[in-house]
Structure 1
Amino acid sequence: MGYVRYERGKRAELELGRRLLRAGFFVMRSPGSGRRARRFKYPDLVAIRKGRVLLFEVKLRKHRDTIHIPWRQVENLRYASELAGGSAYIAVYIQEEKEWFFFRLGDLEEQVHERGRRYVITVGMFEKALKFEDVVGDHLL
């Protein structure tokens, strides 16, 4: 089960990476970024074009649903974006809709629960999510 989920997530990362390449970005994927990579703070994808740096944590879902993201994962992405001087996003691919949705870290909802803190993307937040064109902006070819 875990390996299948990892493979699906990897395919989503590669799909987003290809779209960014077609938009003229240099793209690097961090293999196994979410798997036992606690010592290093790096995102799933980094895209660079003409000095603009975009960092992505990629999520894959079958349909719109609430997404819980570990606090540490978001904070590591925030830290990496500050070091790189880039913009960080949670990129969510919804298989049912065949569409990408992008969320700025500042737009995520922080929650405290019995086991600590986490960030949440609620179903309602998808209506205000950014699209691919919004994220890459005038960098489209």
Structure 2
Amino acid sequence: MQNTRRRRGFEAERELVRKLWSKGFAVMRAPASGARTRLAAYPDVVAIFRGKIYAFEVKYRRDNSPIYIDKNQLEKLLEFSRRAGATPLVAVKRPNKGWKLIPVDMAKQTNSGGIKIDDEVLDKGIGLDEFIAMATSASLKKFIKNIG
């Protein structure tokens, strides 16, 4: 089960990389992202479009269960984003529902210092095509400013 889950996660990361690359982003997947990385702080995927940097934590879910990102993983995403001047996002892939991108500030805080993304939060996110359209124009800044 764990290997299947991890494989689906890797497949989702690679799909996101391909889609963003095909739309003109400079993009790469971190080869050892996630829990295996102890000392380094970097996200699953980094995408750059004309100097705008986006750091993605990528999650795959087959069902409607909430997504949790623990404190350690969240801190790594935020530290990388701070150092790079990146916008930290959680990219959620669900079968038959496509992608939803969630700015970290939009997620619900957990008591343990991590974040939770449930259906309510997902509904407020943006689809991948919408993100691409906004990121390649000036309107993504408006979206990120309006989440607060």
Residues 1:111 and 2:133 are matched in the alignment: no
1:22 aligned residue:
22
CA displacement at 1:96 relative to structure 2? 3.5
Distance 2:62 2:96 in 1: 6
Q: Which structure shows the bigger proportion of residues in strand conformation?
A: 1
Q: Which amino acid letter does the alignment assign opposite residue 68 of structure 2?
A: H
Residues 1:9 and 2:9 are matched in the alignment: yes
Kindly report the root-mean-square deviation, in angstroms, between the aligned alpha carbons of the 2 structures. Answer: 1.5
Q: Deviations over 1:8-27 (max 9, x none)?
A: 11000000001100110111
Q: Which structure shows the bigger proportion of residues in helix conformation?
A: 2
Residues 1:139 and 2:139 are matched in the alignment: no
Contact 2:35 2:73 in 1 (8 A): no
Which blocks of at least 5 consecutive residues in structure 2 are unaligned? 138-148
Distance 1:36 1:6 in 2: 12
Which blocks of at least 5 consecutive residues in structure 1 are unaligned? none
Alignment of 1:1-141 (within 5 A): 1-97=1-97, 99-112=98-111, 116-136=112-132, 137-139=134-136
Partner-residue secondary structure (3-state), 1:117: coil
Q: Which amino acid letter does the alignment assign opposite residue 84 of structure 1?
A: A
Q: Which amino acid letter does the alignment assign opposite residue 136 of structure 2?
A: H
Normalising by the residue count of structure 2, what TM-score does the alignment of the two structures yield?
0.85
Q: Deviations over 1:62-99 (max 9, x none)?
A: 123211111111121111111111111000001142x1
Q: Which amino acid letter does the alignment assign opposite residue 127 of structure 1?
A: D
Structure scoring higher RCO (CA < 8 A, sep ≥ 6) equals 1
CA displacement at 1:109 relative to structure 2? 0.9
Partner-residue secondary structure (3-state), 1:35: helix
